[in-house]
Every structure is written in structure tokens, then in C-alpha cells.
Chains A and B, each alone.
Chain A
Amino acid sequence: MSRLGPDFLPRAIATIALYPEPRSAMLPILHLVQEQNGFLTEEGMAHVAELLGLSQAEVYGTATFYDMFFTHPVGNYLVSVCTNIACLLNGGYELLEHAEQSLGVKAGGTTPDGQFTVEEVECIGLCGNAPCLTVNWRFFGDVTNEGFDSLVGDLTAGRLAETVPPHGTLCRVRRTVGLEAAAAVESTSVPELESGERS
């Protein structure tokens, strides 16, 4: 499904209602599209344009600016390895190299089975536990080569299904959307909040 489906559309509409200008809701709604589709499909962006009363080019211009939006398919697990200063000093590049070898793809690439995408990122704010990485925006610190391999093993085996949601979910966006929308628009169509989300 490329346009926002029944699980996501009410949330998008509730989000738009939070802002005086519909276009202000563009980023959170794009996250919803990414959560649903894994990346920003053309139909998904077109749907966002329709919801916000903008042209598709305007949505596309915004979507292509942010590094956390993908306008091309990415794997189910997006592994973002930090190579900024603290991680660099603690073996960030070595970790990235290991990740590339272990998964058999270069940074920016996706494994042929569509499970993993590896990317190199700037500081993700977990310098106390360098070297670090995120998988679908969930933090993993003090990552050793062995730790990385077991993380991949756990992800592949589905043992981390509870911790690491399907691709594209930005938990903070999601939590705010639900709470504030519920308060702002006393609408019966606001979906139930999902409990147990981490931030």
C-alpha cells in the first residue's frame, strides 16, 4: 500500500489538526508514510501533498532535504553507524567496516534479501557509549564486532521484534502525535495509543 491506509490516515489527519497551517504537519506525516511503506513512495508523497494542499514538488523538495527520509527503498533494518568524533576515536570506522563486511554491502547499500541497509551517519548523540549505532532509530552502544554479529543474528531471528519495530518508526514522533492529537481534536477517530513504546 502506498497511500496512507486506514491505520495511518486518521493519525495523519489528527496531526494536521495540530497546526495552524496544514503544511507544518509535513514532517510527522512523512514519517507516517515511511513507517507504513518503509520509504517515501511517490504515491505516498503525492498523498501527503493532497492532504496538505501542496504540490507534489513541494513535498518532494522537503523530503529530499532530510537524511532520515528515504525516497528509495531501504532494508527492513536500517543500520546507521556513527563515525563522528567520539565514535571515530573508539573504533567507529572499524565498526562500519566490519558491518560492511559482515553484511556484504557497502555503506548506503542494501543486502540482496532486503533485510539490512547500512549507512554511515554523523553524531547520533550516544557518545558516552561509543562506538554506537542505531537500528531503525533504536540505539545500541558499545558495539563490538562480536556484538554487531549477534545483533544481526537476533534481528534476523526475530528475537528483537519487541525492541526494534519495523522500519521507519520514529517513536518520538509517534508518541507526540497520538497524545496531542487526542487532546487537541476531541475526535472519536483518534487511534488508540500504543503502549510500551520506548523513546
Chain B
Amino acid sequence: MADAPETSTDTVSITVDGKVIAAQPGEMIIAAAERNGVYIPRFCYHPRMRPVGMCRMCLVQVKGPRGFALSPACYVAVAEGQEVVTDSPEVKKAQDGVLEFLLVNHPLDCPVCDKGGECPLQDQTLTFGPGETRFVEEKRHWAKPINLSDLVLLDRERCIQCDRCTRFADEVAGDPLIEFVGRGASIEVNTFPDLPFSSYFSGNTVQICPVGALTATPYRFKARPWDLEQVESTCTSCAVGCRVAVQSSGAKLTRYLGVDADPVNHGWLCDRGRFDFEAVNSDERVTAPLVRKGDELIEASWGEALAAAAKGLADVTKLHGKGSVAVIGGARLPNEDAFAWAKLAKVVLGTDHVDCQLGDGLPAAAVLGLPRATIDDACRAPVVILLGPDLKEELPVLYLRLRAAAVDGKTKIVELTPHSTGLTRYAAASLGYRPGEVALLARALVEGGGGEDADVAGVSAAAIAAARELISAGNAVVVLGRPSLAEYGSSVAEAAGVLARLPGARFLPALRRANVHGALDMGLAPGVLPGRVALADGRDWFGREWGALPAEPGLDTLGILTTAADGRLQALILLGADPANDFPDRQLARRAIAGAGFVVAVDTFLTDSSRHADVVLPAATYAERAGTTTNLEGRVSRLGQKVTPPGVAWPDWMIASELAVRLGGDLGFDSLESIWAEIERLAPSHAGLTTATLSARASRDGVVTPLPAAPTEATADTDDEAAGADATGEAPVNRPALLSFAAPERAGDVPALDSYSLRLVTGHKLYDSATSVRRSPSLAGLVAKGKLRVNPYDLDRLGLTTGGRIRLQAPRATMVLEVVADAGVPRGSASLPFNLPSEPAADLIDGSLAVNDVRIETT
């Protein structure tokens, strides 16, 4: 090389095919070459998994002391001055040989293979292969596809043993349920006999399979790759916000594929997110507005239905005042729609009884007002404090990220939980507390001090001391959500207030519902306005454009439902909410829906709640409309539209606009862009985040709000466009400050537990009776039966045996179900999934109690 490049400490220079390139220290040749435009063929190498050097397809020549030798580019790390040749006759011969070898047993049934057309083996054989084979013998034969699980099928004849799926299962998912079996001439990938590959992440193996060996039942034989159209979008099955490619064939969604967003999902999806597109395609969608006539919901035109809804709401407001209408839900809505509905509720309807959470979350201030961390921050933090739900069940890809960080030693996990979770086995410390007492535990953890020998909340002093040692490094990231729905969320908020005092502590909210974080940002909560502003603080700023706002902070969902059940709240708007199933206290929710005189439901399906509505307005859902969504980090990313809504369903913001007009208001929106412009202009947390910024290529992975440079400072003396728009405003009103979380008062002690009772713990399972699971045929069958988990000590004490059937008694209901011993449930507690079709804990919970106790006895 004539001109030796500058070598910095950050990069290593290597020569690939005579060209000097800069590589990152420690990375493999294959990655460095690819970034610099030299594609080295590969099958087993995957950038998100450890290299294995298994398939030999990436052989290149690397110069060593004895000249050039063939080495696998995925398995040799770059080194200063390394010389690599990828296009010599020797390399070509090696590639020919490897491909000829890989194809020896490959059936070449491409015309009937789902992978045909997007198959790395097919593509690379064409590009790099020999074109001829010398193999004339009979190929290996296996029974055509076998079920690895209900979702994943394996055709072993097509498999080239690259180890991608098995590595994924072990390394990434932590569910090593598939393995190479019979290594040698009859090697195959398989499960243990009769123990299926029932991993929540199994669909990823289908996506990363470089041949057509693994296929997923929902896509099998449904389409050919060249028939598919695709748009990039963000998954809204939960609040992690994984990037996906939404694919359709004809007018139907056919498949989702994970897109590698470095800050979020690394290309992975959970199976619920991957396969619940079936619900979008469902024949049971509400396709036309429905208006109640007597006992029946009758199809109506939009005009009739909107008029009926507006009349009902106007009548109630006229008769009972503005505070007599409440809006529940909105987590399903994209940001623009949530903003439109917030404006409709708080300005046109004039009510602050608005809540996008269904009693299963946290006070809005605890989510919006604490210093925020990103997923990457959490994965790099010295310690992660988990005070939230079982992430594996509720936010699966966040579980993957944290699991990987813990396994790789990048962070340590300290868990405060009322029952063992998916992350317990990776946690450095897991403190199993008694339900309702987490604030006490948090205090003991943070404050330490007196009572060194006493147990706190059922956790031993020694365990607390050990955990305190772990968090002493500071700069912890707290993953904050609801550990159990059978205890008050306020105790968790109180604990969060205590943890916020840890030096450098930041918070990653872990609420599960699709765009719940975006809906909170957009003001769909009591006492807040769009942009993470308190109602009182933002009154002047928003009032300038919006006019009068509600005088007092309104009720949350618990308050709304309680008031409605008592007949003191006359109209309910259910914004994609199904409180009759999803609110922890189902009985209360059902009484409230019956108690409210007038109910409007904006929904995609007739649920147990919306079927009791007076007017049902059909909404367009995911992949049927554009917009933006916000994940738990506050990351705003774009949704893609791929198919058209069924029937005459509309996007939610249009429904809000039309309803506003009929209520005598005008939201002033005629497009998503016009809504976003107002969000950018008014919502302080979103200032500076223009449509142009969001659409930029650099924003492909989304943009975390608020933007780092606070606009109030940035605009002081610079003159950029964002500042210009602001400065021209003649208003003396300043942009209000973002909400900050004031730790709630110390709550009273929870009642003592009597020795006959167990304290109930409950959380969601990934597959439960959620609408998107029930309406997705491939997922509906995966829902398990509910079992009560109890500590073996309590089982013994009560004279019960594991696996036996017991009668579970609560003041609300009695149910008969199976009990299993589980040392992961602390003594004195009993854990039951919240929302399974059979034996749901939701039937037992009394929302007015801080904790819920149950008794169990033999049947």
C-alpha cells in the first residue's frame, strides 16, 4: 500500500481485495467487509448471534506467516494490517465446493418451497455456486415436515445444519428446546421426544432459517415472496415497539418479519407480535357503525351513528354537566388519534375523566414525570432494578434484551417481585415481597438503617442487604410497571418515589398496552395535557389555542367505573377498551357499563364491553392506517399502512373530528400531518419533532422524545425554523415545564394476613383472552389453562398436594382449579394468571381493596 492510512486507536485497518478499509477492533472479517461493500456469502453467520464457523460458506483467503490460507470470515477477527482476498480462484473453488457439498442432501424442491424466491441458499447458489454437481446418489430422506411446535414446522430434508435456529433458541431466547440430534451422517434438528419447541420466540427461527427447512403454520403455502407487498412499520402488540416489515398479498396481511432496529428489537419479534396479524384479517371485525335499537345493535350509516352518538353525549352533558362524560381507553390508538381524542374529550366534551389505562398501569405522573431511560441505557446500566410485571409474558422483546445484557455480564438485575418471573433465573438478586408491601421493601432497600435483622415485606434482612450492595454502584435503571394487578398501583408508585432517590436513578416504564405511553404523552389521562404537562401547568399555554379546559383533574379508570356503577356518571366512551375483560375488577367494570346511561364504543371487534354499547363505531386498526406510535422509551416511530380497513371502518382521528363537528366543536384537523403539526407546536415533550424529522432516513428506528436539546434553551439565540415558528407567536405565555413526579404520601399499612388465607398475585400471560390472541386462530390454541401457584411450604401447611384440584375462595367468587407447588411464589402468596379464558384471576379481584386475599381447600 502506497499511502498507509491513519491508524487511530478506534479502528483497525485491513486490506480486503486490495482495498484498505477501517474495521472495528474485535469484529469479524465478514462484518467489516460487508460494511465496506464486500459481501461474503454465508449461511450460519448471523450478526446478532455468536459465530460458529459451521457452514464454511464464508471461506476467504487470509494472509498468515505461511502465505494465504482459507479461513472462515465469520470466525476470524480483524487485525491490524490483515490482508484478505475474497475473489480469487482459490476462494471461488472453495465456495463451489462448499455449495456442492451443502446441496448433496438438499432436495431442491424450490418450486413447492415457501422459501423459494427469498432463499439465501437459492440466491447464493446462483451467485457463488458451481452450477453442476457430481453427486448422483440417492439423497437423504426424512418424513416431510414434522411439528416442532404448534407454530413451527421442520422439513429436515431441506436443513443444511447451519445451527442458526438452535443457536437462537439457546443464546437469544434462552429456551434450548431444539438441538442437533444424531450428530453424524443422520444429523437432524429436533426436540426432545414429545417436548415441543414451545418458545415465545419460536417464529424468529423461521425468519432466520437460510433455507426452507423451518416454516410457520400461519404463512405456510399462503403466498410466494414475489407476490408480497411490504411496508415497514412498528409492532403494537405491546409497548416495546419492535420494528416490523408488514407484508400482504392481495388485500390480506400474510406475514410480519422482524426488522433489525438496533436500539429496540435487534430483529427479533415475539410470536404474539409476529402472528397476531390474523386478528386484523378476522372475519369478525366490526365493519359498519352499529346503533342500538331496543336490545339489538343494528347496522347504520356513519351519519346516523355519529348523530346518535353526538345526541346521546350532548343530552347527557346538557342534563348532568360536563363532568358526566368519561373516556376510557386509547392505548390502541396511534399518537395522532390519541391527540385528537384528548382534544375532543378535554375541549369539546370538556371532561377530564379520561384514562387510557385500565387500572392495570400506574399513575400518569409516575410514567411521565420520572427521569426516563432507554432500553439501551438499561442494558448498559450497572444495575437494573425490576419493579414490574413478568417481562417475558408482557413485554417479551424487552425480556430478550435484558436477558442478553444479564447473560453477557453487561448489567446486573435486581428484581422486586411478588412471584418468580422469566428473568428470575438471570437476576443477581430476586426479592420476593408480600403483595401490597413493595413500598416498605423499597424503603428498606434504599434507606437501610434501623431494623437490620428484621424481615421486611417477607424478605429477609440478609437478602435486602445483598441487594443493597448490588445497587450501591448508583446509576440504576428502574424498569417500572405493575408487578401484580391484585394490589394497588399506588404502592408501586410510592416505591418508585423511593427508588427515585437513588443517585442517578432513571426509569424505563413497563406498561404493556400497545401505545399506552403515546396515549399518556398525548394527554389521555386525568390531570394531564398533551406533551407530558400537568393540567394546571398547561392551562394557559393550551387555553390560548384550545379555549376553556376542565377546571379540576378528573377521575382515573377506577374512579370512572366506580362512579358510573353508582349511577353518578352518565356517559362512557370506550376507546378500544374492553374493561369488562381487562379491568382488574371485572365485576365493577360490568356494573359500570350497565350503570352508565349512554355508552359509545369505538372498536374493531364486538367485545364483552362494546356489545353493550348504544353506538359502536368501527375503527381501522394496525396496518390499515398510518400514523406514529410511542414505545415505552418514549420513542416515536412510524406506522405503515398496508391494507385497507374492512367495510367502512375509519381511523380513530376521523371519528373524533366528525364527532366534534356534531357536538358543535371543530378539532381543526384534516390530515395526520395537520394533527402532528399541532402536536409539535403545542406538546412540550414533542417540540422540534417535525414530520420531516420523523420521515428522515436517520429516524428509521424512531426518535426518542423529548429531543435532547430542550427547545427553550436552543431557541434563545439561534434562528432555526423550529425557533422561528415559536418566536413569531406574540403570546406572553411560555411553553409549560414538563411534569415531574411527586412521590405520593406514605400509604397506610396493608391489613395483616390471617393464617388461613393467601394473598393473591396476578399478571398477564402472553397468550390470554386478549382480543388479538382470541381472533388469531394460530395463537388461540396456545392459551394454557390457569393453575394456581403456591409455595410448597403453604401447600404442606394446608395439607394439599401439587397437581391436585382445589377450591379457591374469594369474597367475589369461588373456582375449582389445579394447584402446583412453586418455590418462586413467596410464602403466604398465591399466584394466578389474570386473564385466561378459564379460571381468570380477574373474576376474584375487588378493586376497592389494597390487596386481595383468597383461601384454598380440597375439593
Contact = CB atoms under 8 A, between A and B. Distances in A.
Interface of A: 42, 45-46, 54-61, 64-65
- Which residue among B170, B178, B180, B192 has the maximum number of chain A CB atoms within 10 Å of its CB? B192
B195 A65 contact: no
Contact of A56 (B170, B180, B183, B195): B195
A55 B173 CA distance: 13
A108 to B, nearest CB: 14
Given A42-B192, A42-B193, A57 B184 contact: no
Contacts of A61: 179-181, 183
A60 B177 contact: no
Interface string B166-203: 00001000011111111110000011111100000000
Contacts of A58: 170, 176, 179
Nearest to A71: B193
A57 B195 contact: yes
Nearest to B192: A56
Contacts of B175: 55
Given A55-B177, A57-B176, A57-B177, A45 B192 contact: yes
A54 B425 CA distance: 13
Given A55-B176, A61-B180, 9 more contacts: A42-B194, A57-B176, A57-B191, A57-B192, A58-B176, A60-B192, A61-B183, A64-B182, A64-B183
B52 to A, nearest CB: 15
A64 B178 CA distance: 13
B196 to A, nearest CB: 10
A58 B170 CA distance: 10
B182 A65 contact: yes
A60 B183 CA distance: 11
A169 B184 CA distance: 25
A65 B182 CA distance: 5
Interface string B773-808: 000000000000000000000000000000000000
A23 to B, nearest CB: 11
Contacts of A54: 176
B191 to A, nearest CB: 6
Contacts of A65: 182-184
Interface of chain B, main secondary structure: loop
Contacts of B195: 56-57
Shortest beta-carbon contacts, A-B, top 8: A61-B179, A56-B192, A57-B179, A65-B183, A55-B176, A64-B182, A57-B192, A60-B192
A59 B181 CA distance: 10
A59 B190 CA distance: 12
Interface of B: 170, 175-184, 190-195
A56 B175 CA distance: 11
Contacts of B176: 54-55, 57-58
Contacts of A46: 192
Contacts of B183: 61, 64-65
A65 B183 CA distance: 5
Interface of chain A, main secondary structure: helix
Nearest to B180: A61
Contacts of B184: 65
Contacts of B192: 42, 45-46, 55-57, 59-60
A57 to B, nearest CB: 4
A51 to B, nearest CB: 15
A64 B177 contact: no
18 contacts: A42-B192, A42-B194, A46-B192, A54-B176, A55-B175, A55-B176, A56-B195, A57-B176, A57-B177, A57-B190, A57-B191, A58-B170, A60-B179, A61-B179, A61-B180, A64-B182, A65-B182, A65-B184
A173 B507 CA distance: 54
Contacts of B181: 60-61, 64
A194 to B, nearest CB: 32
Contacts of B180: 61
A4 B176 CA distance: 23
A56 B176 CA distance: 8
A16 to B, nearest CB: 18
Contacts of A59: 192
Nearest to B183: A65
A59 B175 CA distance: 14
B166 to A, nearest CB: 8
A109 B350 CA distance: 84
Nearest to A55: B176
Contacts of A64: 181-183
- Which residue among A45, A55, A65 has the maximum number of chain B CB atoms within 10 Å of its CB? A55
A182 B631 CA distance: 57
A37 to B, nearest CB: 15
Nearest to A63: B181
A64 B182 CA distance: 5
Nearest to A54: B176
A57 B188 CA distance: 12
Nearest to B197: A57
B453 to A, nearest CB: 33
Contacts of A56: 177, 192, 195
A39 to B, nearest CB: 13
B601 to A, nearest CB: 45
Contact of B178 (A42, A45, A57): A57
A42 B192 CA distance: 8
Contacts of A42: 192-194
A46 B180 CA distance: 17
Contacts of B194: 42
B146 to A, nearest CB: 14
A157 B330 CA distance: 81
A54 B191 CA distance: 13
A140 B178 CA distance: 40
B187 to A, nearest CB: 9
A57 B182 CA distance: 12
Nearest to B175: A55
A46 B195 CA distance: 11
A60 to B, nearest CB: 5
A97 B462 CA distance: 69
Contacts of B170: 58
A59 B170 CA distance: 13
B194 to A, nearest CB: 8
Nearest to A45: B192
A184 B195 CA distance: 36
Contacts of B177: 55-57
B188 to A, nearest CB: 9
Contacts of B191: 57
A20 B179 CA distance: 23
A56 B170 CA distance: 12
B45 to A, nearest CB: 22
A21 B41 CA distance: 36
B48 to A, nearest CB: 21
A42 B194 CA distance: 10
Contacts of B179: 55, 57-58, 60-61
A46 B170 CA distance: 17
A56 B177 CA distance: 7
B346 to A, nearest CB: 53
A64 B190 CA distance: 11
A54 B177 CA distance: 10
Nearest to B169: A57
B823 to A, nearest CB: 14
